[in-house]
Chains A and B, each alone.
Chain A
Amino acid sequence: MFLALREIRHEKLRYGLIVGMIVLVTYLVFVLSGLAYGLAQQNTQALDTWDASKIALNSDANDSLSQSLITKQTTDKLSLTKHEAYVGQAGVVAKAKGQAKLSAQFLGIQKNQFIYHRLTTIAGHKPTTNHQILVDDSFKDNGYRLGDKVTLNSLTGKYQIVGFTHNAKLSVAPVVYGTLPTWRSLSHVTPTYQAGGIVSDRSTFKGAESSLRTLSLSQFINKLPGYSAQNMTFSFMIGFLMIIAMVVIAVFLYILTMQKLPNYAVLRAQGIPAKVLVTTTITQALLLVVGGLLIGAGLTALTVSVLPFGVPLAFNVPLLVGVTGGILLTGVIGALIPVRIILRVDPVSVIGG
């Protein structure tokens, strides 16, 4: 620690450049991770609030709720409990007088079932009639107010916003909660269709009908359009950034170590154990990486505070711990590469003449 700190203090520019590089990599990794998590959240926020485990869809719907239709004939054969709830999804364009059009996902639910019960409002109340809707608070951010009358697609009816709810997004679009009859109107289906899917909060639930296919909620989420591809893209970007960070740190430390070899040789000649020099190198790498991480985290926090509304940047503790741990680990691996050179430094090289 002594040698590591003294060297950093003396070689401010050199180590400042390394820290600067680590800051940029860290910043990029944090922002990308935040974007990945934020986007992933906006795909599934609404589903997360239901706290559900399984979903049964029409087996021909290709695991898509918006494409799935389940008939009353089918649901009548199932013995559903209070742990199950009907849901129907339809893509809509919402428009209120004097407000901008908003693309949204309409979810039709039933008043006496668990999804309805688990919805929370941040203003107003939950819908009680077919012409009432509860909408995500991003509507509010776009100028919509309680009591606004909204048209959905080309339907002639008007739907009144009676409440706002927080964190209700599905496939990155705000959710409009309404009733199943409204969903039927939006989907242009007759009342012979009960819902698009059956959601259950029991992990043992199975829609025991040949026309149904039951999926776990994580399977269903992974089948959301673009969800897996988007997450995989971000994971690859973050992974590559980590590898680049490791290579850059390793190259920097390698160059620095090579420059220090004559000093190390003198110290070895004087009997300073190789362990001290190795510890110094690893400590130095850790100090640089931790410094870079802290500044990078600060820069990320600053960015979050000035980012315009609507940028899907979100963080959670396990994600931050994982990313931070990953960068620290790459730093240590990078620092371990020149260790072999330090262990093999030849003190004889500094005694000549």
Chain B
Amino acid sequence: MIRFYHVYQSYQKDVFALSDISFTINPGEFIFLTGPSGAGKTTLLKLIIREEIPKKGQILVHGQNVSSIPVNKIPRLRRSIGVVFQDFKLIRNKTVFENVTFVLKTLGIDLKERRRRAHNVLKMVGLQHKTHFYPLELSGGEQQRVAVARAIVNDPVLLVADEPTGNLDPDRAADIMNLFEKINRKGTTVLVATHDRDMIQRMRKRVISLNAGRLDHDSGSQVHGEEN
């Protein structure tokens, strides 16, 4: 599913945001990516969705080398990955329905099918009654659930979330995590970047931990036979 081979990333000469990162994530896994602020969690996620290109090393996602993927293939790669951001990244002048189904619209899926899929995912996140609301009319937790609905509406094989509960109170954060578990049980691989230690301990999932751009610990390294 995802393989990192000795990946390096830097924004300034000799200052590495990521340094010699190698790991494997298998299909259907639920992984927490953790570490203090500045550890390189967001950079790592950006490399997966090809928002950035690594300075060195190879990254395979669904068997594609995203470091060398042609530019015109990037949209397709991103459509196969559901992404949830800490700041939700919802389009403010589009309704919940429009935000959730935007990608489906660019794929030419007709309105009836878009409605059906939007209804299903919004029901899953408990917002089926708010399809015509605009993001700013929703609470933070609701906005994050819309972002989750958008991320899963196109049935991605991989769901990536960057600090998805960072702006939420503990109850809403637990709701989102339960939702991710539910999605993972359906077979979607889930990778969640968070520094919420309580949450990680409670969920008892594989944890990849970063520190100052280096892979500090991988609780699943022995199981998956990967060198750190």
Same complex for A and B? Answer no
